[in-house]
Structure 1
Amino acid sequence: MPSPPSSSPPPGWRVFNDQLVPDQTVGGYLARGQSVSGACDQRDCRRRFWIDFDNLIRRGYAPFPVKELKALLLCRKPGGCAMGFKDSREGSGLTLKALSRFPQVRIRLRCTGCKWEKTITPDRAAAQLKAAGTGSGDTFHIDLLEKLSKPCAKCRQTAWACEVIWPQARPSWQGKTRSGPPLPDEKPGRDRRGSG
């Protein structure tokens, strides 16, 4: 089993099931530097806004999910709200160069049709993009799907999924809710659910 990365995930990101995913809270958006704007195109409304994450953090809303915040910003008109939200591109992904600083991080490209997958390092992904003339180390990991032109080697489809694999010191299946004898680093009698 590969050893875990030497540090925690970048600010605004979290590890879920050994995959690096954006933190969808107010604090996560601010840490990534990703902004959210909204606009209503109904003739009698035309409301426009930008969410002030700094102000929300000062008021204690750091752990509040942005999805719920967006729902609170909708108007309650009888015909429904036409508010559209847009997350900025800045902060929505990490560059391959930034991911390559963590030696054990891998990028998994998976065919959504036949489930065939290939795991590569961020450096190798950047080298392949540079060789094809479609990108470099400054390419965001979320843009890899747009840059893939080759079909799946097994089923010949071009429906891909891209995941950033972030190995953890303790696998997710050995988390706080596991049963059995305590691990060597656990104190005897400690509640594994995190309450004591």
Structure 2
Amino acid sequence: MKMRIVPIGDQATLGDHRHYPGARLLLVCSLCGWDKAYRAERVIDRLRELKSGGHATRLEQVARRVAWNCPGCGRVKWRCHFAWPPGFDDREAKRLANLYRN
């Protein structure tokens, strides 16, 4: 099963992950479709460690910052999205939202 991409547009920032409980940052190769999911908090921490971004960093900037070659095709052309894992449903989203809120 594939991850479901959250349709929020091009101007999304890393800090927007709080509005989508359970969503992961999905890094996708634009050329071959290879993908890998990360926790958004981990990416934010790494950008802060490098002193090159944080919560306000747009997803397109994150994709441009990835410098390693794609394991699938060996080229470098990335895009980023927020996506929910397979099997993630509305009931689980509500449960996580209540957990975070309380």
TM-score, normalised with respect to structure 1: 0.37
Give ranges in structure 1 of 5+ residues lacking alignment.
Answer: 1-16, 24-91, 171-196
Displacement after TM superposition at 1:93 (Å)? 2.1
Partner of 1:18: 4
What is the CA–CA distance in structure 2 between the aligned matches of 1:21 and 1:154, rounded to whole Å?
Answer: 25
SS at the partner of 2:90? coil
Higher RCO (CA-CA < 8 Å; seq separation 6+): 2
Counterparts of 2:29 and 2:62 in 1: how far apart (Å)?
13
Residue 109 of structure 1, aligned match among 20, 24, 27: 27
RMSD: 2.7
- Residue 96 of structure 1 deviates from its aligned partner by 1.3
**Aligned mate of 2:41, from 123, 133, 141:** 123
- List runs of 5+ in structure 2 lacking aligned partners: 92-102
- Displacement, 1:154? 4.1
Residues 27 and 79, structure 2, Cα contact 8 Å, conserved in 1: yes
Which structure shows the higher helix fraction? Answer: 2
* 1:169 paired residue number: 90
How many residue pairs are counted as aligned between the two chains?
Answer: 86
Distance 1:141 1:118, change over 3 A: same
User: Which of the two has higher C-alpha Rg?
Assistant: 1
Q: Does 1:159 align with 2:80?
A: no
Taking the aligned partners of 2:65 and 2:27, their CA distance within structure 1 comes to: 12
Equivalent residues in 2 for 1:140-155, closer than 5 Å: 140-155=58-73
> Which residue identity lines up with residue 7 of structure 2 in the other structure?
V
Taking the aligned partners of 2:49 and 2:68, their CA distance within structure 1 comes to: 14
